Amino acid sequence: MKPTKATRKFAVPALPVERFELACGATLLVSPRAGAPVCAVHAHIRGGHSLDPKNKAGLAHLTGSLVDQGTTSRTEEELASVLENAGGRLAGGGTGVAGTMPSARWKLLLELLTDCLIAPSYPKANFERHKKRLLDRLIVDRDEPRVRAALLFRSLVYGDHWMGTPDIGDIESIPRIQRRDVVSFHRKNWVGKRLLIAFCGDVDPQKVRSYLNRALRDLQPGKPLGSPNLEFPPRGRRAAAFPADRQQVHVFLGHIGIRREDPDYPALVVMDHVLGTGPGFTSRITRRLRDELGLAYTVYADIHGSAGVFPGMFISYIGTSPEQLGTAVEGLFHEIRAIQQELVEPTELELAKSYLTGSYALGFERASRRVQTLIIAERCGLPPTHLKDLLNAIVKVTREDVRRVAREHLDADRACLVAGGPVKKAQLKALLGLGK
């Protein structure tokens, strides 16, 4: 006998957490997991590239990416040797540093992590090498239609807000950044009151707290971040193109989206899986635009995936041939409007919900996924029961709910349209009905 809506069973990830405030001002979240073979840690530094100076975009990225390239007590080679021998990994980025290691070596993982947090040495040779690699990557990306179209789309959606800029910087800004800038940025911004640490493994949370209190005793508390800037351009029909001589056109259609705290988030997760996020058997645009019409190999639509502390984006994407551009854009518009106008089929709804509730817990087998979830929940102010709440809410989503949230949160009439490839801006404006 198949489970009914009322009796459907699903696994809820167990993610217990204990929260501590450390002496340096940092917040610590520890999720004990008895018997876990691997432990994971994520030290998140609030601010990221929102703190980049106007003429030095990419500074936060370079600062974080180099913290694991050597410290005042260990060279890059020594760090790599210790990690390899212990079966661990550690890597920095623009918003902090994260790593994993067998649970029995949890103290070693935290020792290396705190060393990178407090005392990166930023060796001159490593800095110059990493900077050159980043610049080489940006030079390659400069001619990539999909990359450039994605950046243009983001800039149309967010305007002058820092979220509309690339976190890794650009070809003009990276050469301006010197080693002294990185050292200064780290000293000013990698401070206790901006630090959020999540740890998961087979360990006593109190022992993790005690260890980190000692290890981070020399970390300066600094100042917390101020209130975030939530002023964005209003939705509106805007178009941009990156012309390039290629065989394919990369098309982005959408607008500003939602924050994770939005009460419609569960229903939008379901809507996304019906419209264009789920695997082929649950996604309309994949089935119709790719499989039935043969317009593309890759196509998707999503509004919930980028939701966070700040509003994310509703993005629908399709890569298609130049001669099919109009048909492809029309197809995206059609599917967006269809899910707003008509109730989804009962079988579509149940298939999407069954897929979501049946597969959700699988991703939490990895310790790294668990610490990322802890970070997101803390930053977005989600309750301790948020995982269970989300799954319970998904089960209750109705056909009417899907249509309602599609109508309230998708706005095809005020969408940005961007394409990269053999295309002109005038073509895109015409597809939006903007004229010349």
Provide the domain count of the chain. Answer: 2
Q: Which of 109-123, 222-236, 285-299, 357-371 has the highest mean pLDDT?
A: 109-123
CB atoms within 10 A of CB 82: 16
DSSP string, 5-65: TTT---PPP----EEEE-TTS-EEEEEE-TT-SEEEEEEEETTGGGGS-TT-TTHHHHHHH
Same domain, 85 and 136: yes
Mean pLDDT of 391-416: 97
1: number of CA atoms within 13 Å, CB side? 6
Q: What does DSSP say about strands 27-32 and 313-320: parallel, antiparallel, or unpaired?
A: unpaired
pLDDT band, residue 278 (cuts 50/70/90): confident
Same domain, 267 and 414: yes
**Range of 31's domain?**
18-215
229 inside domain: no
Same domain, 305 and 400: yes
Same domain, 256 and 210: no
Helix (H) or strand (E) holding 85: helix 76-86
Q: Which tokens go with 296?
A: 């593309």
CA distance 80 to 68: 9
Q: Which tokens go with 333?
A: 């518009």
pLDDT band, residue 6 (cuts 50/70/90): very low
6 inside domain: no
Decide: residue 37, CB within 10 A, 0-12 exposed, 13-18 middle, 19+ buried.
exposed
pLDDT tens digit string along 205-254? 999 999 999 999 999 999 999 888 889 999 999 999 999 999 999 999 99
Q: What does DSSP say about strands 18-21 and 27-32: parallel, antiparallel, or unpaired?
A: antiparallel
Q: Which of 200, 215, 230 finishes a domain? A: 215
What pLDDT score does 292 carry?
86
**Is a pLDDT exceeding 60 seen at residue 7?**
no
What amino acid occupies position 334? Answer: H
pLDDT tens digit string along 91-122? 999 999 999 999 999 999 999 999 999 999 99
What pLDDT score does 3 carry?
43
Same domain, 246 and 211: no
The CATH number covering residue 323 comes to 3.30.830.10
Q: Which of 215, 249, 284 finishes a domain? A: 215
Decide: residue 44, CB within 10 A, 0-12 exposed, 13-18 middle, 19+ buried.
buried
pLDDT band, residue 2 (cuts 50/70/90): very low
70 inside domain: yes
Q: What is the Cα 62 distance to its own chain's centre?
A: 18
Over pLDDT 70: what percentage of the chain?
A: 97
Same domain, 171 and 48: yes
pLDDT band, residue 18 (cuts 50/70/90): very high
Which residue did the predictor score with more confidence, 292 or 257? Answer: 257
